[in-house]
């Protein structure tokens, strides 16, 4: 992409001239509790140093932006408005690259994926009222996904509150947006520059801690433009990853040594891919993964038995039936509905050892099953387990493996999703380093089951909040932040709901969209029919997405025959501009939804 497409930022942050990320150095592991999340810090013992700033910014807005630069922020995504102009202007005249999106939710989704592609916090900005409410869906998705996002919003100046100001945003109208703990780890309204040191401290702490962090800093318009009256200081915070005690590690080793065990890998284990593979190979354990955990353990490895949950592999259930292990070591997954469907067939004989950095998820999916809950960084825990491995080589049994039927392209008829996925595997997964994303809907189901990854961080999907439109827009943030290709596989319904193709064109971001264009909300249609609800209206008038894309300045190609898929994908992955592959899909091909449908039926949603 051409970085010159961004508006010039005339003031560069002194501490980020080389573009290198902020480094937090390891320190003594201590503990503190705070509403910004479970803590691993002790304010009295942790390494916290304060140094004066050589240059004091002139306004509150510029002071906040300068500190965000120092915290490693590279990008700010949002939609402007009159009430946020001082912050917007300060961002525009900093080293932070500002992208103007077409909808605030799209900006927040893109920020989530930019974070995961770069491991740097991302700013989302919005004006008052509807700017904030439009942002909330994307911010909640960021919270569920575990991203680090700082939301800067405008609020109504004190003298105008309660007087029906345009888009009034105050405790009279929108109090809950400033206090919603299920959405924000930290939220505050800045009423004076005297509060800035404490705001900085809480932001630094939240960004330094493991896991996600969503902060909301609401700044009244008059405060944004006000002058700084107090001297400001910079907080440098040292931390170490949370690890289990030696006693817990010893207990874990003892339980795993009592008999066979399997490893269930989730997205929270992404940084531990090498250690998990080493541990699995030295113990001979079978490995399965959640949809978001695809690729952390190579899917072509002989010890990999399959993906669990939505559109998961039958080979997993075959393994649990024929070789049910004594225990399952769960690494970095909540075991939520789309990962487990809370299926009793997944329960091992003697229970789980559940490892996660977030204590709130430990043991929640199977509350009646014996579970050793271990709050720890997954990588640190597996590294500790590796020190206790026996030197003898394990006996490796022949394990069930996921099976794929080869489907040859046909010359006539609409494109079958299975054939499209085969082509995506060959052209994009196997022959490029692109990140592949699948949108909520049948796209996710086909991707979970049919795409195969051998490396971590190459597959993204959302199985928790699962908002339609997440990856339609998230692909823009990921492509930008990684300075390389990202590909979103989405439905026509999602593409019509929330699209940022125009944003990608504006900033010359060569994102790729592959659209399963079947003229309907097909997961809803197929799912409701399987539940016994016939005749539901899910039709969408057939859309020519290539014409729309070209009308906005992007490029694209329409695919109506299976024999044309590979050529279209090759053009897309090589394109220097935003590119749409509009694939006319056979809507009668049933997606692999049995697990989801059975889960809904078990909850009483059936018309049989």
% of the chain surpassing 90 pLDDT: 66
Both tokens assigned to 416: 């079958």
Both tokens assigned to 607: 């018309």
Q: What is the dihedral of CA 477, 478, 484, 488, to 10 degrees?
A: -110
3-state secondary structure 135-172: HHHHHHHHHHHCCEEEEEEEECCHHHCCCCCCCCCCCC
- 153 or 527, greater pLDDT: 153
Chain position carrying tokens 């939520």: 336
Q: Given a cut of 60, is residue 518 above it in pLDDT?
A: yes
Rounded mean pLDDT of the chain?
86
Average confidence (pLDDT) over 396-420: 90
Give dist(CA 109, CA 89) in Å, integer: 23
Q: What secondary structure letter does DSSP report for 63?
A: H
Contact 311, 303 (CB under 8 A): no
At residue 186, the pLDDT reads 95
In this structure, of 235-244, 398-407, 412-421, the range with the lowest mean pLDDT score is 235-244
Residue 305, number of CB atoms within 10 A of its CB: 25
Give dist(CA 6, CA 544) in Å, integer: 30
Task: Write the pLDDT tens digit of every residue in 547-576.
Answer: 999 999 999 999 999 999 999 999 999 999
Q: What residues contact residue 389 under an 8 Å CB cut-off, 6+ apart? A: 279, 282, 283
Average confidence (pLDDT) over 386-395: 82
Q: What is the dihedral of CA 82, 86, 92, 94, to 10 degrees?
A: -170
Both tokens assigned to 361: 């998820």
Local confidence band at 524 (pLDDT 50, 70, 90 cut-offs): confident
Average confidence (pLDDT) over 125-144: 92
Contact 550, 503 (CB under 8 A): no
- What is the CATH number assigned to the segment(s) 246-386? 3.40.50.1220
Name the pairing type of β-strands 486-491 and 435-438. Answer: parallel
Task: Write the pLDDT tens digit of every residue in 9-67.
Answer: 443 333 333 333 333 333 333 222 333 332 322 333 333 333 334 355 689 999 999 99
Fold: same for 246-386 and 417-602: yes
Q: What residues contact residue 346 under an 8 Å CB cut-off, 6+ apart? A: 308, 316, 320, 328, 340
% of the chain surpassing 70 pLDDT: 85
Both tokens assigned to 368: 């009646």
Report helix, strand or coil for 241.
coil
Q: Using CA of residue 418, residue 423, residue 425, residue 428, what is the dihedral sign?
A: negative
Q: Is 589 left (phi over 0), alpha (psi -120 to 50) or beta?
A: beta
Residue 311, number of CB atoms within 10 A of its CB: 22
- Edge-to-edge strands of the sheet including 97-100? 97-100, 75-78, 122-126, 148-155, 213-220, 186-189
Q: What secondary structure letter does DSSP report for 394?
A: P
Give dist(CA 211, CA 146) in Å, integer: 6
At residue 11, the pLDDT reads 38
Give dist(CA 588, CA 591) in Å, integer: 9
At residue 238, the pLDDT reads 61
Average confidence (pLDDT) over 201-214: 93
Tell which residue, 121, 92, 117, has the closest CA to residue 21: 121
Q: Given a cut of 60, is residue 492 above it in pLDDT?
A: yes
Give dist(CA 342, CA 329) in Å, integer: 16
Query: Could you name the CATH architecture of 33-237?
Result: 3-Layer(aba) Sandwich (3.40)
Residues across the chain: 608
Local confidence band at 436 (pLDDT 50, 70, 90 cut-offs): very high
Average confidence (pLDDT) over 79-94: 92
Average confidence (pLDDT) over 102-128: 97
At residue 592, the pLDDT reads 86
DSSP string, 69-133: HHTT--EEEE---GGGHHHHHHHHTSSSEEEE-SSHHHHHHHHHHHHHHHSS-EEEEE-STHHHH
Give dist(CA 106, CA 82) in Å, integer: 20
- 274 or 188, greater pLDDT: 274
Q: What is the dihedral of CA 160, 161, 167, 173, to 10 degrees?
A: -170
Whole-structure pTM value: 0.87
Task: Write the pLDDT tens digit of every residue in 326-376.
Answer: 999 999 999 999 999 999 999 999 999 999 999 999 999 999 999 999 999
What ranges do the domains of the chain cover?
A: 33-237, 246-386, 417-602
- At the top level of CATH, which class does the domain 417-602 belong to? alpha beta
Give dist(CA 323, CA 373) in Å, integer: 24
At residue 49, the pLDDT reads 35
């Amino acid at each position: 992409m051409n970085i010159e497409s961004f508006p010039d930022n005339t003031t560069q942050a002194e501490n980020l001239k080389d573009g290198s990320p902020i480094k937090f150095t390891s320190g003594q592991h201590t503990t503190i509790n705070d509403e910004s999340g479970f803590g691993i810090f002790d304010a009295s013992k942790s390494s916290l140093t304060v140094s004066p700033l050589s240059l004091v910014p002139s306004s509150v807005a510029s002071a906040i932006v300068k500190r965000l630069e120092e915290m490693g922020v590279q990008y700010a995504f949002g939609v402007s408005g009159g009430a946020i102009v001082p912050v917007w202007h300060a961002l525009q005249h900093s080293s932070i690259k500002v992208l103007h999106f077409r909808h605030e939710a799209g900006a927040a989704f893109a920020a989530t994926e930019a974070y995961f592609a770069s491991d740097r916090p991302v700013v989302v900005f919005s004006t008052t009222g509807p700017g904030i409410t439009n942002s909330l869906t994307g911010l909640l998705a960021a919270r569920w996904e575990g991203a680090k996002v700082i939301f800067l919003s405008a609020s109504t100046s004190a003298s105008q509150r309660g007087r029906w100001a345009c888009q009034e945003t105050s405790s009279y109208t929108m109090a809950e947006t400033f206090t919603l703990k299920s959405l924000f780890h930290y939220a505050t309204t800045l009423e004076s520059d005297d509060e800035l040191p404490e705001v900085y401290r809480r932001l630094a702490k939240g960004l330094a801690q493991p896991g996600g962090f969503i902060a909301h800093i609401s700044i009244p318009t008059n405060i944004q433009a006000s002058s700084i009256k107090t001297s400001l200081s910079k907080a440098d915070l040292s931390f170490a990853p949370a690890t289990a005690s030696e006693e817990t590690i010893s207990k874990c080793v003892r339980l795993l040594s009592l008999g066979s065990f399997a490893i269930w890998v989730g997205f929270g284990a992404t940084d531990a891919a090498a250690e998990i593979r080493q541990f699995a190979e030295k113990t001979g354990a079978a490995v399965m993964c959640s949809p978001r955990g695809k690729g952390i353990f190579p899917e072509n490895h002989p010890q990999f038995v399959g993906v669990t949950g939505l559109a998961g592999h039958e080979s997993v259930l075959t393994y649990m039936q024929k070789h049910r292990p004594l225990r399952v070591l769960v690494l970095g997954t909540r075991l939520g509905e789309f990962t487990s469907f809370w299926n009793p067939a997944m329960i091992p004989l003697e229970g789980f050892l559940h490892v996660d950095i977030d204590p709130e998820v430990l043991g929640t999916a199977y509350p009646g099953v014996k579970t050793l809950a271990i709050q720890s960084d997954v990588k640190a825990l597996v590294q500790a387990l590796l020190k206790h491995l026996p030197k003898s080589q394990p006996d490796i049994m022949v394990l069930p493996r996921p099976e794929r039927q080869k489907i040859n392209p046909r010359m006539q008829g609409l494109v079958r999703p299975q054939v499209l996925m085969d082509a995506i595997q060959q052209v994009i997964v196997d022959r490029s380093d692109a990140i592949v994303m699948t949108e909520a809907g049948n796209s996710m189901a086909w991707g979970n089951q049919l795409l195969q990854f051998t490396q971590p961080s190459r597959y993204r999907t959302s199985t928790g909040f699962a908002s339609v439109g997440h990856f339609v827009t998230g692909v823009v943030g990921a492509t930008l932040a990684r300075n390389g290709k990202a590909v979103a596989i989405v439905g026509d319904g999602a593409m019509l709901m929330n699209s940022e193709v125009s944003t990608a064109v504006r900033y010359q971001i060569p994102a790729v969209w592959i659209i399963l264009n079947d003229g309907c909300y097909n997961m809803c249609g197929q799912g409701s029919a399987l539940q016994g609800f016939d005749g539901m209206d899910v039709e969408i008038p057939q859309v020519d997405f290539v014409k729309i894309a070209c009308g906005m300045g992007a490029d694209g190609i329409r695919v109506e025959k299976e024999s044309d898929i590979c050529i279209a994908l090759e053009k897309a992955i090589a394109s220097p501009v935003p590119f749409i592959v509009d694939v006319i899909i056979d809507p009668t091909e049933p997606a692999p939804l049995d697990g989801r449908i059975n889960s809904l039926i078990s909850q009483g949603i059936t018309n049989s």
